[in-house]
C-alpha cells in the first residue's frame, strides 16, 4: 500500500512569510507536523511519500504511485484543499482527510471518501482496522483527549528539510484558559497534556541526525500551560541538551502571565528560546472582559511585554479589532500600544468567529453570522455582522495597518524593541544563507526599496549601539518587507 501525504498551499498571509523566505532561498516556514506524525502511525510496511505543495508541485507520477491519499490542512488552506481533492478524485484515488479544516467543516468536502477527525491518536487506529477489513466508515470522530506520551516521533525524513526555514516539535496540547474567540480548548481541552521529556529530546536528536541546525518551533497552544512540567523536567533537560554544541534557537507561544515568572523566563532563555508569540488582543479592558481574556485583564500590558523582552525573549503579538465593545477610538489605541511596546511582529486582524468557539455559538444565537471564516484574520474581512458600522470598521482597520507597516513607524518600532531586548547567551550559527540574506536585503531594501533611508539608518544605529543585534535588525527589516507586501495589500 502506497500512501501519498498531501499538504495544501497556504495563501499569501501574515504568517506565510513568503516574501521574506525568498531572501534565504526557502519555500515555506514549517513542514506539516501533523501529517508527518500521522505518517509515523501508519503501518510500517506501507510506502509513504509527502507532497507539500508549498514547497513543490503535485506531479502526475505522484498520483500514479499512490494507492491512498491522506490530506490535512487548516482553514486558510481551504481553497487549495478543494483543488487538490478534485485532482485526486479525477485520478480515481481513495481520499482520507483529517486535521483542523476537515474537523470543522467536513460536510463541505463531498469528494472525500473517509474523514479521520479530531486527534489522530484517538481516531486513526479504528479507521486502519476497518480499512484493513474492507469496511471503513466515512466519518471517524472522538471526544477523547488522548495521552500524547504514546505519540510517535514525526517522520521528518519524508520532508525535504532544505526547503524549510524552521522545524517544529510539540510538547503539549491544550490551554488552561477559555477565550471566547479561540477554538483551541474546543479541540484539545483545558488541561494541557504533555509528552515525556525523553520524547522531546529524542525528537530533537532525530532532527540533528538528519542534519538540522536551524530554528525549532514548539507549536504548543500555550507552552507555559503546565509550568511545573516545564520547570522541573523539560527546560532543565533542554539546557543540558544544548551544552557542548552550537545552540539551536527555539521559539513558541505563551500567555502573557509568562511575564510574572522571572525564573521561568530565565530557564526558557537558558534553554535556547529567543522568541515567543503572545496573544495580547487589545489594550481595551472592556473588550478583554467581553472575550473572557481574563489572563490579560487588569495588567500593565506594555510593562509585561518589556519585561519579557528584557529577559531575552522577542515578543511577537496577536491583536484583534472588531469586538462588540470596540469603538472607533480602538484603532489609534492599538497603534499607540504596539508602537510603545516595541512589538515589531504585530499580527492585527479583524475578529472572526471560528466554528466550535463560544463566540461562534453566541453570534449564531443572535443571528449575526454571515458565511464562513477565511481562516486568515489579516485579510480585512469578518464572517459576522459587527456592532461597529462595517464601513467604519474596515476603514479603521485599513488605516491601522497602513500606519503600523509604513516604513517610518515600522523601523521606529524595531529601534524601540532593540533598546529593550537582552539577547540570550545561546545563539545559532550564522549560516551562509543569512549572509546571502544580508546582501540581498542591502540591495533590495537598501538600494531599490522605498524604505532605503530607514534601512541604512537602522543598521548604522544598531551597529554603533547594539552591534551584536545587527543580524536581528536585518531579519526584522526583511520581515517588514513581507508585511508591507501582505498587510497593506490585503487591508480593504
Note whether 170 and 136 are same-domain residues.
no
Q: CA–CA separation, 108 vs 75, rounded Å?
A: 12
- Please check whether residue 136 lies inside any domain of the structure: yes
**pLDDT category of residue 354 using cuts at 50, 70 and 90:** very high
The grid cell for 431 is 549560516
Measured from the Cβ of residue 336, the count of other Cβ atoms closer than 10 Å reads 12
Number of domains composing the chain: 2
- Please check whether residue 23 lies inside any domain of the structure: yes
Is pLDDT at 491 greater than 50 in this prediction? no
- CATH classification at residue 80: 3.40.50.280
> Is-contact 95 89, C-beta < 8 A?
yes
- Please check whether residue 6 lies inside any domain of the structure: yes
Is pLDDT at 492 greater than 90 in this prediction? no
pLDDT digits (tens, 9 = 90+) for 397-427: 999 999 999 999 999 999 999 999 998 775 5
What is the predicted pLDDT for the residue at 434? 77
Note whether 170 and 132 are same-domain residues.
no
Q: What strand order describes the sheet that includes 250-253?
A: 166-169, 215-218, 250-253, 273-281, 314-321, 346-350
Note whether 179 and 111 are same-domain residues.
no
- Please check whether residue 463 lies inside any domain of the structure: no
Return the beta strands (E) in 99-218 as ranges: 114-116, 139-140, 166-169, 172-173, 193-194, 215-218
pLDDT digits (tens, 9 = 90+) for 262-320: 999 999 999 999 999 999 999 999 999 999 999 999 999 999 999 999 999 999 999 99
- Please check whether residue 371 lies inside any domain of the structure: yes
Which of 24, 131, 10, 16 shows the shortest CA–CA distance to 474?
24
Q: Are strands 193-194 and 172-173 parallel, antiparallel or unpaired?
A: antiparallel
- Among the listed ranges 55-69, 117-131, 457-471, 478-492, which one has the minimum average pLDDT value? 478-492
Kind plus residue range of the DSSP H or E element containing 363: helix 358-365
What is the model's pTM?
Answer: 0.95
Is pLDDT at 489 greater than 70 in this prediction? no
- Residue 312 belongs to what domain range? 165-420
- Please check whether residue 259 lies inside any domain of the structure: yes
Note whether 244 and 352 are same-domain residues.
yes
Note whether 255 and 324 are same-domain residues.
yes
Q: CA–CA separation, 334 vs 281, rounded Å?
A: 9
Note whether 10 and 84 are same-domain residues.
yes
**pLDDT category of residue 380 using cuts at 50, 70 and 90:** confident
Apex CA 183: angle with CA 357 and CA 361, to 5°? Answer: 5
Domain boundary among 394, 420, 446: 420
- Please check whether residue 336 lies inside any domain of the structure: yes
> What is the distance of C-alpha 375 from the center of its chain?
12
- CATH classification at residue 310: 3.20.20.70
End-to-end CA distance of the chain: 48
Note whether 386 and 329 are same-domain residues.
yes
Is residue 466 packed enough to be buried (19+ CB in 10 Å), middle (13-18) or exposed (0-12)?
Answer: middle
Note whether 91 and 183 are same-domain residues.
no
Pinpoint the alpha helices (H) of 380-469.
390-404, 407-420, 432-444, 452-465
Is pLDDT at 368 greater than 80 in this prediction? yes
Note whether 110 and 198 are same-domain residues.
no
Which of 224, 241, 481, 282 shows the shortest CA–CA distance to 400?
282
Q: What average pLDDT does the segment 127-146 reach?
A: 97
The grid cell for 209 is 541526525
Domain boundary among 140, 173, 193: 140
Note whether 332 and 219 are same-domain residues.
yes
DSSP string, 254-322: --GGGGG-HHHHHHHHHHTEEEEEEEEE-S-HHHHHHTT-GGGTTS-HHHHHHHHHHHT-EEEEEEEE-
- Please check whether residue 252 lies inside any domain of the structure: yes
The grid cell for 300 is 500593565
Q: CA–CA separation, 119 vs 386, rounded Å?
A: 33
Domain boundary among 420, 446, 476: 420
Q: CA–CA separation, 265 vs 109, rounded Å?
A: 44
Amino acid at each position: 500500500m502506497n500512501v501519498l501525504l498531501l499538504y495544501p498551499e497556504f495563501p499569501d498571509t501574515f504568517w506565510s512569510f513568503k516574501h521574506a523566505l525568498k531572501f534565504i532561498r526557502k519555500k515555506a516556514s514549517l513542514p506539516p507536523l501533523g501529517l508527518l506524525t500521522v505518517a509515523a502511525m501508519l503501518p510500517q510496511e506501507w510506502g509513504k511519500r509527502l507532497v507539500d505543495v508549498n514547497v513543490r508541485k503535485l506531479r502526475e507520477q505522484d498520483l500514479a504511485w499512490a494507492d491512498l491519499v491522506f490530506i490535512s490542512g487548516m482553514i486558510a488552506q481551504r481553497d487549495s484543499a478543494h483543488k487538490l481533492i478534485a485532482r485526486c478524485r479525477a485520478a480515481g484515488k481513495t481520499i482520507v482527510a483529517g486535521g483542523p479544516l476537515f474537523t470543522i467543516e467536513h460536510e463541505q468536502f463531498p469528494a472525500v471518501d473517509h474523514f479521520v477527525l479530531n486527534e489522530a491518536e484517538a481516531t486513526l487506529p479504528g479507521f486502519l482496522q476497518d480499512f484493513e477489513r474492507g469496511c471503513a466508515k466515512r466519518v471517524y470522530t472522538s471526544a477523547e483527549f488522548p495521552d500524547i506520551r504514546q505519540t510517535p516521533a514525526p517522520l521528518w525524513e519524508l520532508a525535504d528539510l532544505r526547503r524549510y526555514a524552521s522545524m517544529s516539535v510539540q510538547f503539549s496540547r491544550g490551554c488552561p484558559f477559555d477565550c471566547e474567540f479561540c477554538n483551541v480548548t474546543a479541540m484539545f481541552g483545558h488541561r494541557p497534556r504533555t509528552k515525556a521529556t525523553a520524547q522531546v529530546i529524542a525528537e530533537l536528536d532525530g532532527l540533528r541526525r538528519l542534519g538540522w541546525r536551524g530554528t525549532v518551533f514548539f507549536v504548543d497552544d500555550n507552552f507555559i500551560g503546565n509550568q511545573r512540567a516545564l520547570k522541573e523536567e523539560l527546560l532543565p533537560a533542554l539546557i543540558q541538551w544544548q551544552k557542548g554544541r552550537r545552540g539551536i534557537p527555539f521559539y513558541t507561544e505563551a500567555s502573557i502571565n509568562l511575564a510574572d515568572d522571572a525564573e521561568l523566563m530565565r530557564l526558557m532563555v537558558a534553554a535556547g528560546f529567543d522568541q515567543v508569540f503572545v496573544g495580547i488582543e487589545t489594550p481595551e479592558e472592556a473588550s478583554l472582559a467581553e472575550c473572557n481574556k481574563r489572563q490579560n485583564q487588569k495588567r500593565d500590558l506594555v510593562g509585561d511585554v518589556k519585561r519579557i523582552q528584557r529577559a531575552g525573549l522577542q515578543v511577537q503579538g496577536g491583536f484583534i479589532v472588531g469586538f462588540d465593545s470596540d469603538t472607533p477610538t480602538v484603532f489609534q489605541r492599538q497603534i499607540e500600544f504596539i508602537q510603545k511596546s516595541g512589538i515589531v511582529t504585530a499580527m492585527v486582524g479583524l475578529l472572526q468567529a471560528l466554528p466550535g468557539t463560544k463566540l461562534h455559538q453566541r453570534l449564531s444565537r443572535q443571528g449575526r453570522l454571515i458565511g464562513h471564516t477565511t481562516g486568515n484574520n489579516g485579510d480585512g474581512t469578518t464572517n459576522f455582522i459587527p456592532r461597529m458600522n462595517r464601513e467604519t470598521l474596515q476603514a479603521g482597520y485599513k488605516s491601522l495597518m497602513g500606519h503600523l507597516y509604513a516604513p517610518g513607524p515600522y523601523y521606529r518600532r524595531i529601534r524601540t524593541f532593540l533598546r529593550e531586548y537582552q539577547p540570550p547567551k545561546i545563539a545559532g550559527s550564522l549560516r551562509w544563507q543569512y549572509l546571502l540574506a544580508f546582501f540581498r536585503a542591502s540591495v533590495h531594501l537598501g538600494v531599490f526599496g522605498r524604505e532605503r533611508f530607514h534601512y541604512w539608518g537602522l543598521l548604522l544605529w544598531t551597529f554603533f549601539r547594539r552591534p551584536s543585534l545587527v543580524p536581528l535588525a536585518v531579519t526584522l527589516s526583511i520581515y517588514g518587507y513581507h508585511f508591507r507586501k501582505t498587510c497593506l495589500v490585503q487591508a480593504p
